[in-house]
Amino acid sequence: MMKREHWGSRLGFILAAAGSAVGLGNIWKFPYMAGENGGGAFLLIYLALVFTIGLSVMLAEMVLGRMAEKNAIGAFAKLKGGAWPLIGFCGVAAAFIILSFYSVVAGWTISYMVKSVTGALAIEDPDQLGSLFGGFISDPVSPLIYHAIFMVLTVFVVLSGVGAGIERASKILMPALFALLLVLIVRSVTLPGAEAGITFLLSPDFSKVTWTTVSDALSQAFFSLSLGMGAMITYGSYLSKKENIASSAGWVTLLDTMVAVMSGLLILPAVFAFGFDPSAGPGLTFITLPAVFAQMPFGSFFAFLFFLLLAIAALTSAVSILEVVVAYFVDDRGISRKSASITVGVIIFLMGIPSSLSLGIMGDFTIFGMGFFDLMDFVSSKLLLPIGGLFISLFVGWVVWGKAKEDIALHNGIVPFWINAWGIIVKFIAPVAIAFILLKGLGVL
């Protein structure tokens, strides 16, 4: 058997995993979710969930991958078998679903990069920008072209391999992303009137908090940290035994959370400074922000940088989603990386078509009262990811706990002092809390 490929360096792995985590979830979704759910209150709940359940499941996934040196399905098959690989199958299914609509939104960001260059976005009136956005996403053709372009880029990175594709792209794109983020934050917080946005994000309004807020914060945490689907199992499977895996998990969690908070600091101050509504929902980044940019000096330039930032963040995330599927076909089905990447890429592109059309000509077609796009989002982030996280915790806590403890200590032979705290979380707290929040959020309890 061929030796499994390893990441070229510790930094390479951290950047690739952070690249997976940092994505549209942080920059597009987090600020509007905070905006809709009481600002600081949402932030506090989110942080509490990220650094307990999120960090623990992150470590659990990475350890599973490294122990098995296998993809999300193969890892469970190798370590235990039985019905356990079903968790991996759900993860692979979730990968198809998530990437299909994720790539549609990522395509919008590329189109908005183009629009900012051509001057099409230099409009100050948010109503007009609203119609522009509505007109664009409901168009039957144009968003599909950008969806295709984005999928081609994603496939290209994945078929180039783990080191030469994923790691190399992350090492170039992630520093670029941090630089862009810093430039844009400085621009945003120095606008006159920006303090109101900062105060909003940092001061909690608990009157807006319900069980739905908590369950939204949990699904957001899973989505943002790329958990519950086997992405971190897959990336962990390329880790060498010499790596301090717990510290890497900590770094990835921290970087992801920093970027979410920083995106809040980029978007909310600008929105407040120009007197817009922070709870504008998904349109916040595509409607409100262009209006903000249009009112600043060199606005088109900053708009371009912003949509470039979104596109880069989306690309490194999409790559990790596709890699979950490709790693399975390469490891367990003997298909070459190249054929697997291209074939799966085409299928996911096709699956994205109804998502995109559901925002336009297919708008009247609903399932359980949801359009296709919303349904895909709901099934994956509200159901598959939390359920995946629940069973991954149980598996690590109860089925392979002894081996997992050893694996964590491999790099220096010392079992860390917090190991039992982690044990309690993966054995009891995470499964119970996830199940409870899930059922509460669905209105079952």
Binding site for ligand TRP (CB under 6 A): 20-21, 23-26, 98, 223-224, 226, 229, 231, 317, 320-321, 385
Contact at 8 Å (CB) between 173 and 398? no
Burial of residue 401 (number of CB atoms within 10 Å: 0-12, 13-18, 19+) = middle
The candidate with the shortest Cα–Cα distance to 410, out of 252, 228, 247, is 247
Rounded Cα distance, 103 and 149, in Å: 9
Which CB sits closer to ligand TRP, 116 or 220? 220
Q: Whose Cβ is closer to ligand TRP: residue 103's or residue 300's?
A: 103
CB of 256 to ligand TRP, least distance (A): 7
Alpha-carbon distance 8 to 402, whole Å? 28
**Of 192, 191, 217, 219, which is closest to residue 204 (Cα–Cα)?**
217
User: What DSSP string describes 6-47?
Assistant: --S-HHHHHHHHHHHHSSHIIIIIHHHHHHHTTBHHHHHHHH
Give the residue with the Cβ less far from ligand TRP, 230 or 441: 230
| Least distance (Å) between residue 220 CB and ligand TRP | 9
| Rounded-to-integer distance, Cα 330 and Cα 168, Å | 20
Tokens at 393, concatenated: 């915790």
Give which of 281, 351, 372 is closest to 103, Cα–Cα. Answer: 351
Nearer to ligand TRP, 26 or 393 (CB): 26
Contact 111, 146 (CB under 8 A): yes
Question: By three-state DSSP, how is residue 177 classified?
Answer: helix
Q: How far is the CB of 418 from ligand TRP (least distance, A)?
A: 25
- The CA distance from 51 to 218, in Å, is 11
User: In whole angstroms, how close is the CB of 260 to ligand TRP at the nearest point?
Assistant: 8
* Least spacing, CB of residue 286 vs ligand TRP, in Å: 16
- The count of other CB atoms within 10 Å of the CB of residue 62 is 27
Q: Which is nearer to ligand TRP, 92 or 229 (CB)?
A: 229
Minimum CB distance to ligand TRP smaller for 129 or for 265: 265
Minimal distance, residue 171 CB to ligand TRP, in Å: 18
204 by DSSP, 3-state: which?
Answer: strand
Least distance to ligand TRP, CB of residue 7, Å = 17
Structure tokens that stand for 328 in this block:
């399975």
Alpha-helical segments (H) within 50-84 = 55-68, 72-79
In the complex, least distance from residue 60 CB atom to ligand TRP, rounded to whole angstroms = 14
Nearer to ligand TRP, 235 or 293 (CB): 235
Q: How many residues does the chain have?
A: 445
CB of 317 or CB of 358, closer to ligand TRP: 317
Nearest approach in angstroms of CB 193 to ligand TRP is 29
For ligand TRP, which is the closer residue by CB, 132 or 321?
A: 321
Closer of 91 and 299 to ligand TRP (Cβ) = 91
Rounded to whole angstroms, what are the CA distances from 360 to 150, 285, 352, 371, 372?
Answer: 20, 20, 13, 10, 11
In the complex, the smallest distance separating the C-beta of residue 20 from ligand TRP, rounded to whole angstroms, is: 5
